[in-house]
Homo-oligomer: A and B are copies of this chain.
Amino acid sequence: MTPPLPGYASHFGVANIPFGIASSDSHPSPTSATRFEDNVIFLDRLDNVFEGIQDLSDTVLAQPSLNAFAALPRAVHQAVRERLQSIMKKDNTLKALPPGAVEQIGAVTMHLPVETGDFTDMSCSLHHGQNASEAMTGKRSSPPAFFHMPIGYAGRCSSLDISGTPVERPLGQHWTGKPGESEIAFGPCKKMDYELELAAVIGKPLARKERVTASNAEAHIFGYVLMNDWSARDIQALEMIPLGPLNGKNAGTTLSAWVVTADALAPFRVASPPRTRDVVSYLAASGNDALDIKLEVRVSPPGVEASQGKVMCKSNTSWMYWTLDQCIAHQAIGGCGLRTADLIATGTISGEGAEEHGCLLEFMKQGEQPPRGYLEDGETVTLSGYCSEGVGFGECVATLTPAKELDV
């Protein structure tokens, strides 16, 4: 387990009360749970606590995903969270909960919090785009649409993984050296990278052919998770012209276990950064659409605790050019609708400085010596994110395992 960052006693204080899906030896069926400090509380064992909450049926909290709960009105999420907060605020109340309702985090297995039907990964960070462009082309340029709208691609849902699941180095065809100037070979990826991201989990759906503006998009957000969008850079570089990344992003996409609610993050909404040009109507956000979440990436070699890994990056979601509210509005503008449990992610979140690179690619500037190469087998990547004392995401962690040779 990654300990909280210095100055923070816990990511999971009474101001957080996130939701996840957990199981344990004594609670073998995965169901919804919350976390308070190092305690995991199974919500299906707390029926009396939620009595009288309108629209909350008995079965919702016993499901193996949060989909049914996330689809309920925001007022239900608020009511459930407030009842739980009122328990946590009282001394010794946890001990008064029914037998088997509370377990220590170390005794619990976490599962994917939602069953996602569509996952989109956007490109919100100007700094990431320009750093990556400089690494790949020598020039700090941005795609033609960048300042007009968040661009992005559809990701794969079958390879979404819960934090802790190892990611296997993928096989694929890739450039052996500089794209376009080297050979194309088949075998294990040679340029495995992480990407530091945040994703919104959709709660309230939006019907097909309906739209939502950025100023109203937050009403559709159930909560947020950290995401490591593992990227096979050499595979990606070959395949992405002109249809974008596919297998380069499909080895695994790691999600943090606890969905931090939109309500828990509401106090950390801040003004979005100034933009270089006006946005069109559907992207206009009303006031505080950015989030102030401090982010960190650590990489640790085999045998070293994740918490002792080298800090590769410190970043912040508020530095992004586009916000997730705007990404949601953009996703919906073409008429595809939004479904509960859809994931809409930010893309790599970077700052301007070398200590603020959200992925390794950004270090690989032509003619410069990078501080390190791409990921080695056995290395563990740990993302963490936090807002304040008691409000954080915990960790999003995964170890890179060696490629399995083609055996078919």
User: Which residues does A use to contact B, with CB under 8 Å?
Assistant: 117-118, 120, 123, 143-145, 148-149, 151-159, 168, 170-173, 179-180, 184, 186, 208-209, 211-213, 216, 232, 235, 238-248, 250-252, 280-282, 330-331, 333-339, 342, 404, 406-408
If A143-B241, A171-B211 touch, whether A186 touches B280 (CB-CB below 8 Å) is yes
In the complex the two chains form, is B148's CB within 8 Å of A213's CB? Answer: no
Closest to A281 in B: B406
In the complex the two chains form, is B170's CB within 8 Å of A148's CB? Answer: no
Chain B contacts of A342 at CB under 8 A? Answer: 158
Most buried by B among A143, A153, A216, A245: A153
In the complex the two chains form, is A335's CB within 8 Å of B159's CB? Answer: yes
In the complex the two chains form, is B408's CB within 8 Å of A172's CB? Answer: no
In the complex the two chains form, is B151's CB within 8 Å of A243's CB? Answer: yes
Q: In the complex the two chains form, what is the Cα distance from A407 to B404 in whole Å?
A: 52
In the complex the two chains form, is A281's CB within 8 Å of B186's CB? Answer: yes
Number of copies: 2
A-B contact pairs, 27 of them (CB 8 A): A117-B157, A118-B157, A143-B241, A145-B238, A145-B241, A151-B243, A151-B246, A152-B246, A153-B243, A158-B208, A158-B336, A158-B338, A159-B336, A168-B335, A170-B334, A171-B335, A186-B280, A235-B334, A240-B244, A243-B245, A244-B244, A244-B245, A247-B330, A248-B334, A250-B334, A252-B335, A282-B408
Q: In the complex the two chains form, what is the Cα distance from A337 to B160 in whole Å?
A: 11
In the complex the two chains form, is A334's CB within 8 Å of B247's CB? Answer: yes
In the complex the two chains form, is B282's CB within 8 Å of A406's CB? Answer: yes
Q: In the complex the two chains form, what is the Cα distance from A168 to B334 in whole Å?
A: 9
Q: Indicate which residue in B143, B159, B408 contacts A208 across the interface (CB closer than 8 Å).
A: B159
Chain B contacts of A123 at CB under 8 A? Answer: 243
CB distance from A333 to the nearest CB of B (A): 6
Chain B contacts of A143 at CB under 8 A? Answer: 241-243
Q: Indicate which residue in B156, B184, B245 contacts A148 across the interface (CB closer than 8 Å).
A: B184
